[in-house]
Structures are given as C-alpha cells and as structure tokens.
C-alpha cells in the first residue's frame, strides 16, 4: 500500500528506536512548510500504520505529539486535521516598528536577536576558529568509566538538590588543580562551581553592578560576552586600551569599580601583562576599593618560560576574583567552570548561583572531580600542550613564509590562538569573506573592539586544524590578499 502523502517519508529501518521521532519530525516539517495544508484531514492511524509498515502505536504517538504541540487538532468522530497556524505566525510577524511589545522588555533586551547557530565542524577545509579546543584526543573512554561510577553514586544517594557552591569533592579538586597549575592560593571553600566562565561573569555582574551607576573597565580589544553580561546588568562599560605590557592601567577611569583583565594571555591579542602593570593594577584596585576580575581562560597551555604569578596570587587586599574554565582544556560542551573568590564575595555569589540554576549537573561534577583527582586532567593537559605547541610553531612558520611582512603576529607564549596585525589598507571583512568562499575560516579583530577605528587583524585559533595543514591554509589565504 502506498502511503497517502504526496511527498516522501524517509523512515529508519525496522527495529530502529528512531522511527517515532523520524515520523513526527517529518510530518511536523511538512505542516510548517505548507506541504500539509491547514484543514487537511490526516490519514487514520491504522491506515497510515499499514501504509508505512509501522506499528499503530507509533503512529498514534506521533499524532499525539503533533496534537500536544498545536500542529494538529482532533475533531470528535471526524479525525485529526492540520491546524491553522496563521494566527500564531501573525504574532511572530508583528512589525518591528510597533513598540507595544518592546515595552514589555527591559531596555537592554529590546534589540536582542536569537543567537546564530555555530557553523558545524567540517563546514570548512581549513578552520581557524577561535576558542575551540581539539577533542579528538580526549580520553573519552576514561571519562565514560568515571561518569558511570558517578551515576552509580547518584543512584545510591537521596533525591536531593546539590549545593549551589558546588560538590565538595570538585571544589577540593579545583583548589588543588589551580594551586599546582597556576599557584593560585585558595581553599575549597573559596571555590564556586559555575556553568562555564560565562555564568561566572553573569553572577559577578548580578552581585557587583548597581544599574546605571557602576563603571566597569574592560580591555579593548577584549572579550565581547563579558562586556555583554555587564551591560545587560546595567553597568557603564568603559573600554581601556592595551599595549605590549597588557592593560594600560594609567588610562583606567578613576571611578572604575570593576576591572576585567586577561593577564596570562590577553584576549584576543595574546600578550602577557607585565609585572609592573600587575603591581599598578592591584594598587589601583586596593586604593579605590575596586574588584579585579582575572579571566585565566587558557592559562594551562604555556609554551615558553616560567608563567608569571596570577593576580590572585599577588593580591593582598581581597580585590581579585579569579575565573577559570574547563572548556579549553577539556571540551566546551561540558559547561563547567569556577570562581575563586575573596571571602567577602563568596556568600553573595553562592546565593546568586542558587537563584539562577540552583547548582550545576551533579554527575558531571562528580565525574570531573574524579578526573582531576586521579591525574587524568594533568596528563591530558601535558599531552595537548605538546600538540598545540607544534601547531603554534607551524602557524608562526607559515606566517613568516607566506605573510611576506603583511601579517605581523603579536607576541604570545600561551593559549590556543595567535593574533596578527593587518595593514590599515587591507579590508579585513573582505579578506575573511573571500577566504570563507574557499572554505577557509578566518576571524577578524574588529569585532573585539569597542573603540574606533578598531585594530585591523586576524585571529588564528589552532584547536581545530592539524599542524600539517596549517602551511597550506596560510598559503591559500595569502593568495586571496587584496589591499
């Protein structure tokens, strides 16, 4: 029996557990794009089941899902009909010039847009995406074993919520890790576990900002998501330039009460903050009772010389809040990070965390705690430090060979990316667009700057490109060069 629709249905083979989701998804898509018109009577469940060689229960379940989502309406004694979606779509098509809906939003959010979906891996032949590590060499078998153990532990525990500050075992593991890797002096009680660094920034904005009053100084160029978190909280965000020594402390506004820095590996340019500037910044913060947010996002990966002490290590006045993440040294979808807080800030941050999502995923926390405690994190970092060092060397060599003096790298001894300056005569956006047409992903510096004119340059991430492909990628990119 042929199925009664005038379009193909591609269903998995018999025995697959995906047959229900496939049928539901394809019928829903056909309703949304108009292939199934409003008012059309759907085939009876028994008829469709026979035509598609499915169990009737599968078809009934698919129809029930469509009914619950509003794509189908049931009429007693008559059957199931495709719903009229025009009224619902009309709400979504309200003119942008109509302001009644906007007034229901806080001012900052009235211009918000849905975030664009990230380009999937494999969209480019050569991918210099920034901020993404290589997870192909991650020990997932070890992680799977530890995750299974963590789930067994949860199954034997009372069904209670966890601690907003984080699981004690993970906080202890983090305290030992940052003490060993970055000489950050802290106790487990000083650690607040977060859903990545971005939640750490959001929590800090919630507890530190008085809307319309608090001045937040940020590096320029710098990290846009941090700026957005504080702007959304109502802060006055002020850009401060950086030079070869890092943040130019003497240009900080006198009324700055929060200062954001990436001293170990300035984002996105890559230099380290000099000892002189570190001392000046801590002195400024202590004198004005300001808070310094130290973002050490990829400090585990250092390739030359002894790393400078973290600001948190040098701090004697409780001014520094240290932010770390496992997105770069493990994998981004883990969504676990942490704050190392001075005592006066701890209770406020833990309470803010409780009000947002209560606590991070408990099995993931327990898995990560064991992963750190058993030495797997340290081994993985050592391994990947060598991998990334090879890629960094390959990138510097390729820029020297093919850049012909047109791409001048900023000095950088750490991290997963390298920035290079372009001449002012080169149109950064046009070069990136031409590279994208050749399936080479490049990123520019302009989007990281608040001040104008912005720095012109490219940022090369080397987490998603193998060392032996870098030379070819740079050579091809340089062929696209047009002043």
Higher pLDDT, 102 or 184: 184
**pLDDT (tens digit per residue) in 260-305:** 999 999 999 999 999 999 999 999 999 999 999 999 999 889 998 7
Per-residue CA distances from 262 to 224, 270, 413 (Å): 13, 9, 14
Q: What is the pLDDT of residue 99?
A: 46
Per-residue CA distances from 51 to 4, 9, 54, 71 (Å): 8, 11, 8, 22
Give the Cα separation of 421 and 411 in Å (integer).
11
Q: What is the pLDDT of residue 96?
A: 46
Q: What is the pLDDT of residue 89?
A: 57
- Among the listed residues 166, 192, 211, 168, the one whose alpha carbon sits nearest the alpha carbon of residue 348: 192
Per-residue CA distances from 162 to 20, 91, 360 (Å): 35, 40, 8
Higher pLDDT, 344 or 159: 344
Q: What is the pLDDT of residue 185?
A: 86
Q: Is the bond leading into 455 cis (omega within 30 degrees of zero)?
A: no
Residue 268 in contact with residue 130, Cβ under 8 Å? yes
Residue 416 in contact with residue 331, Cβ under 8 Å? no
Find the length of the chain: 483
**Exposed, middle or buried by CB within 10 Å (0-12, 13-18, 19+), for 7?**
exposed
Q: What is the pLDDT of residue 111?
A: 85
Q: Is the pLDDT of residue 91 over 50?
A: no
Give the Cα separation of 354 and 338 in Å (integer).
14
Higher pLDDT, 201 or 454: 201
**pLDDT (tens digit per residue) in 409-453:** 999 999 999 999 998 888 899 999 999 999 999 999 999 999 888
**pLDDT (tens digit per residue) in 453-479:** 888 899 999 999 999 999 999 999 998
**pLDDT (tens digit per residue) in 154-182:** 999 888 888 999 999 999 999 999 998 88
Q: What is the pLDDT of residue 101?
A: 53
Residue 327 in contact with residue 317, Cβ under 8 Å? no
Q: What is the pLDDT of residue 97?
A: 43
Instruction: Give percent above pLDDT 70 in the chain.
Output: 95
CB-based contacts of 218, cutoff 8 Å, min separation 6: 226, 227, 230, 237, 238, 239, 240, 259, 260, 450
Instruction: Give percent above pLDDT 90 in the chain.
Output: 75
Q: Is the bond leading into 268 cis (omega within 30 degrees of zero)?
A: yes
Q: Which domains does the chain have, with CATH numbers?
A: 19-88 (1.10.10.10), 126-135+379-479 (3.90.1150.10), 140-377 (3.40.640.10)
Q: What is the pLDDT of residue 173?
A: 97
Give the Cα separation of 350 and 356 in Å (integer).
10
């Amino acid at each position: 029996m042929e199925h009664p629709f005038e379009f193909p249905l591609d269903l998995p083979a018999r025995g697959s557990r995906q047959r229900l989701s496939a049928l539901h998804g394809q019928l829903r898509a056909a309703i949304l794009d108009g292939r199934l018109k409003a008012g059309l009577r759907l085939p009876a469940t028994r008829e469709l089941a026979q035509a598609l060689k499915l169990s009737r229960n599968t078809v009934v379940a698919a129809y029930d899902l469509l009914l619950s989502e509003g794509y189908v309406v049931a009429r007693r004694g008559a059957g199931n009909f495709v719903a009229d979606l025009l009224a619902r779509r009309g709400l979504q098509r309200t003119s942008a010039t109509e302001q009644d809906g906007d007034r229901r939003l806080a001012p900052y959010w009235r211009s918000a847009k849905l975030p664009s979906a990230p380009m999937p891996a494999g969209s480019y032949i050569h991918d210099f995406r920034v901020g993404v590590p290589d997870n192909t060499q991650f020990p997932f078998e070890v992680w799977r074993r530890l995750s299974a153990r963590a789930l067994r532990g949860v199954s034997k525990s009372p069904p209670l919520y966890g601690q907003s500050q984080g699981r004690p075992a993970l906080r202890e593991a983090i305290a030992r890790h940052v003490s060993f890797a970055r000489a950050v002096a802290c106790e487990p009680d000083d650690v607040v576990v977060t859903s990545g660094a971005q939640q750490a920034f959001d929590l800090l904005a919630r507890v530190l900002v008085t809307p319309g009053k608090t001045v937040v100084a940020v590096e320029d160029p710098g990290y846009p998501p941090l700026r957005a978190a504080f702007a959304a909280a109502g802060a006055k965000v002020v850009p401060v330039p950086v030079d070869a020594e890092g943040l130019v402390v003497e240009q900080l506004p006198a009324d700055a009460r929060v200062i954001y820095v990436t001293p170990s590996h300035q984002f996105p340019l890559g230099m380290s903050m000099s000892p002189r500037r570190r001392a000046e910044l801590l002195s400024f913060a202590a004198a004005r009772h300001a808070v310094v947010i130290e973002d050490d996002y990829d400090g585990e990966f250092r390739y030359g010389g002894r790393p400078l002490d973290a600001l948190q290590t040098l701090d004697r006045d409780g001014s520094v809040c240290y932010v770390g993440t496992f997105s770069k040294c493990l994998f981004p979808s883990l969504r676990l990070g942490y704050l190392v807080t001075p005592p006066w800030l701890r209770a406020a941050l833990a309470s803010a965390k409780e009000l947002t999502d209560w606590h991070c995923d408990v099995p993931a926390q327990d898995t990560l705690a064991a992963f750190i405690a058993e030495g797997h994190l340290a081994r993985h970092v050592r391994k990947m430090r060598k991998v990334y060092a090879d890629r960094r060397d390959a990138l510097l060599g390729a820029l020297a060979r093919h850049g012909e003096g047109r791409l001048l790298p900023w000095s950088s001894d750490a991290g997963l990316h390298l920035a290079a300056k372009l001449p002012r005569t080169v149109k950064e956006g046009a070069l990136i667009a031409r590279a994208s047409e050749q399936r080479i992903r490049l990123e520019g510096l302009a989007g990281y700057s608040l001040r104008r004119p912005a720095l012109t340059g490219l940022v090369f991430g080397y987490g998603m490109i193998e060392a032996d492909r870098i030379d070819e990628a740079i050579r091809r990119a340089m062929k696209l060069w047009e002043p």
